[in-house]
A and B are shown apart, each in its own frame.
Chain A
């Protein structure tokens, strides 16, 4: 590809060559010799670049190693640095003199050390190596797309960009627990049951005496309390308490509402972090931990267990859900294109190039007949020539049928007037020329409406080639072709994506999600309603809780991490499910994520001034801020924010009251230490009065 610098050089040299070789060679030949020499140099550079481009650039390969803890790893841990090594090489026989190699940094990772790009020379024996260190602050999925290689000649005349696609994804597991989350796995007091055991006050096979009862046939003799039997003079049987493991089921909300926000700092990520710490701490204490993820459609459960494999599965699940992105429904197709096209252009340069992914001008032509008035233009365009032809045929064949009366009259007048005008304006030449000119003018005048209509049709059609719409359609077609190639749906889907906004938006959203690129999403619909309230998730969550209760064995702890503050009346199914759980003596904790931009309800909010207080009476004089638009805007924004905050606090209070009435504990994620509270509750379930 010739750069602008190259084009300018060629143009100037060509100009000098033309002037030197054909205009002034008899005065001086030096310009011609200079131009020919420069042209020879340019051709030499062109040949060299293309030769290297085909022989070496097309053979470039990339290899990547991701190492954590000094070894290759298929999964990564959040908050732990890891090293990435990239090697770009080719097996050709040519050396690329200059290449700019740049590894595309995955989203959600911070560069700690090293460089992701390098200027280098690449040959078969001299690969380009890059080593750098990254760190993922949050769990999720880390996707390396590949390496961008830009090759140029040393003079900047030629340039080629390739993207060596080497897509690979790594799960970033939630961080390992810190000292606080690490539980002691041994008995701290002799009176306590061993970790992982929960004394259930029901008859079972434990060690502690639970009750005495009358002997029933079939009771094992060793269970007979002989002393008591002797005292009461009848056989009495001992009953022991039940020793069962403590079970904790975590319900994690993964609906679209909690996926909003910057990558790595969403409500979902924060809740997943809390879930991970609770799960690891409970597992360290030999308690059984289960995980149920739910959104507004489905719930997926991982049954409680305490093995290491189970814990890894839970972590993987958490990493997977942390990478979820909100849907892009409602985002205009144009906005999605603006987001997706540069990405596609960067990742698939050869598939988005003009040579392979074309846009013919005919496709951009605006069809006139799509409009109802286009038929009128068409009529105006063809009617005059047809009428003329009809008249000519009438002259040549006098017996043909005449035109309808009014049309005949109008057309005859039009013909007569135009002929008269043509005769009048034609200057006086010799007879033959004058007749020819008159005929020409007359025919043009007769077909004047047709000419106007044809010009309009031409201009209207050509207007599709210019402007924003042409660029938008071209970009959309290129993306559609890429999608059809990726999906294997062929050329049919290209036209479908061009016409069907819904299908196109859905596919672009999928593309963006696949490459982990977020796009701005409207939070409110046309009627001003919050689009991510996801009220149906209360039903799904209630169903999951009831299902867990139906499978429960004893007093379990259900920890619900969900954004349910604004559900209002839609909370009813959840309240019922909590009642069911409480009725079966299970414990329920609700941990609500709190938006970062909303102040805590514990913070004192300024009370509005009392209505009758003369101190706060309105001043008649206008505030100077009223004249400053920016200040006014700030004040209005503050008022809106205060109102929204108050409304949110009120919703939270209502929700806490509603669930609190069922016996559930409601708290916020950033309210103290939720992990500690959950663990305390687990200890209480185990029978402890206090921990440590």
Chain B
């Protein structure tokens, strides 16, 4: 798995060769195309034939032409056509029991599974044909060559693991969505969450009693709370672990930096005075040098005057003699 072989950017021909000729990478290519086909089928069955065609065209082009920004936009397209299957914005009538009735539907799970497989495979393919590791600098510098994962690094069981884990994640996603809607936020009670009654219609009232919220508000609080506290917990755990694994030199740097940050105002003052003192010394030295030269010039002048007087005196004496 050498690095020198991939010094240059890949040409389009090389990309296509990797995608369709390389045995290891070809499995990923067909996984991507298969997932796109699955998305098309589910969307077609939902009555969104235009959306399905658009997804398959856009996804295929992104695969071949290395559009790295394409997968998130493909998500937006899928979401749009789920809302408006014909592609024309028309809300129609809403169903307040939509959320309650749409848990663990096979069509939904198939679509989500296909999208997730597509995304996971597509991003991995970008690792072979575009870049897997970002550049060291924020912006690409001249001479920077993108690092690509060689196809020889692909393990034979990668696709199987990919599909298996994706299936698990789809189930987890459905479970989380069910959980989010099955809980109610009750801030007035000791524990702020409780199971909602699936048969009760109280959450659908326009004006719920004080201390209770409507279904959307419940969803918002539960989602936000789970995200916030979940991230906080993970951050604490991994942050503490990171501190435990920190090298001594890194800790020393943090201490030095903290010490400097707390006292840099005083240190700035000290340094300014020091620089001022140095400049003043230099100025004084220059002044002393100037004075010395001036004194020397004066002394020289006095000597010359004395010599001149002496010469005149001698001349006078000579004339007198």
Which residues of A are at the interface with B, using a C-beta cutoff of 8 A? 3-5, 8-9, 11-13, 15-17, 19-22, 24-41, 43-44, 47, 50, 54, 58-59, 98, 100, 102, 115-121, 150, 152, 154-157, 159, 161, 345-346, 350-351, 356-358, 360, 363, 481-482, 484-485, 490-492, 494-496, 498-500
Contact = CB atoms under 8 A, between A and B. Distances in A.
B260 A495 contact: yes
A360 B261 contact: yes
Contact of A119 (B82, B83, B149, B238): B149
Contact of A346 (B3, B108, B136): B136
A345 B135 CA distance: 13
A29 B241 contact: no
Contact of B83 (A15, A24, A44, A360): A24
Contacts of B201: none
30 contacts: A4-B134, A12-B75, A19-B79, A22-B219, A29-B98, A31-B82, A34-B78, A37-B169, A37-B172, A38-B115, A40-B172, A44-B165, A47-B234, A54-B245, A98-B132, A100-B147, A117-B2, A118-B1, A120-B1, A150-B147, A154-B123, A154-B124, A154-B127, A156-B123, A363-B264, A491-B256, A491-B257, A491-B267, A495-B267, A500-B275
A485 B249 contact: yes
Nearest to A44: B169
Contact of B257 (A12, A59, A481): A481
B207 interface: no
B218 to A, nearest CB: 11
Interface in B101-153: 102, 108, 111-112, 115-116, 119-120, 123-124, 126-127, 131-134, 136, 147, 149-150, 153
Counting from the closest, the 6 A-B pairs by CB-CB distance are: A37-B173, A491-B260, A117-B3, A155-B123, A12-B72, A495-B267
A98 B272 CA distance: 50
B180 interface: yes
B210 interface: no
Contacts of A491: 256-257, 259-260, 263-264, 267
Interface-central residue, B68, B78, B95, B133, by most chain A CB under 10 Å: B133
Contacts of A482: 253
A679 to B, nearest CB: 44
Interface of B: 1-4, 68-69, 71-73, 75-76, 78-79, 82-83, 91-92, 94-96, 98-99, 102, 108, 111-112, 115-116, 119-120, 123-124, 126-127, 131-134, 136, 147, 149-150, 153, 165-166, 169-170, 172-174, 176-177, 180, 216, 219-220, 223, 230, 234, 238, 241-242, 245, 247, 249-250, 252-254, 256-257, 259-261, 263-264, 267-268, 270-272, 274-275
B176 A357 contact: no
A350 B247 CA distance: 9
B268 A152 contact: no
Contacts of B249: 351, 485
A161 B253 contact: no
B1 A485 contact: no
Nearest to B162: A154
A397 to B, nearest CB: 38
Contact of A27 (B83, B180, B223): B83
A22 B99 CA distance: 11
Given A26-B99, A496-B271, 10 more contacts: A4-B134, A5-B134, A12-B73, A26-B96, A34-B111, A37-B172, A47-B234, A346-B136, A482-B253, A485-B249
Contact of A37 (B76, B134, B170): B170
A97 B256 CA distance: 35
B219 A27 contact: no
Contacts of B126: 156
Contacts of A118: 1-3
Contacts of B82: 28, 30-31, 34
A22 B134 contact: no
Contacts of B112: 30, 33-34, 37
A34 B79 contact: yes
A52 to B, nearest CB: 11
B256 A8 contact: no
Given A26-B94, A54-B242, A155-B123, A357 B253 contact: yes
Nearest to A363: B264
Contacts of A115: 2-4
A537 B95 CA distance: 94
B98 A26 contact: yes
Contacts of A120: 1, 153
A161 B135 CA distance: 11
B223 to A, nearest CB: 6
Interface-central residue, A43, A47, A360, A490, by most chain B CB under 10 Å: A43
B238 A37 contact: no
Interface-central residue, A16, A41, A44, A357, by most chain B CB under 10 Å: A41
Nearest to B227: A39
Nearest to B245: A58
A33 B179 CA distance: 12
Contacts of A496: 271, 274
A25 B203 CA distance: 15
Contacts of B216: 22, 25
Interface-central residue, B75, B76, B270, B275, by most chain A CB under 10 Å: B75
A635 B123 CA distance: 56
Nearest to A8: B72
Contacts of A31: 79, 82-83
B133 A159 contact: yes
Contacts of A495: 260, 264, 267-268, 270-271
Nearest to B121: A155
A498 B264 CA distance: 11
Nearest to B71: A9
A345 B268 CA distance: 26
Interface-central residue, B68, B254, B264, by most chain A CB under 10 Å: B264
Contacts of A36: 173, 176-177, 180
Contacts of B166: 41
B250 A350 contact: yes
Nearest to A501: B275
Contact of A485 (B116, B123, B253): B253
Interface-central residue, A12, A31, A33, by most chain B CB under 10 Å: A33
B259 A16 contact: no
Contacts of B219: 21-22, 25
A33 B219 CA distance: 13
Contacts of B116: 37-38, 41
Given A19-B79, A21-B223, A98-B149, A494 B98 contact: no
A152 B111 contact: no
A349 to B, nearest CB: 9
A119 B134 contact: no
A29 B132 contact: no
A338 to B, nearest CB: 13
Nearest to A12: B72
Contact of B133 (A39, A100, A484): A100
Nearest to B147: A100
B75 A34 contact: yes
A494 B69 contact: no
Contacts of B3: 100, 102, 115-119
B111 A30 contact: yes
Contacts of B252: 485
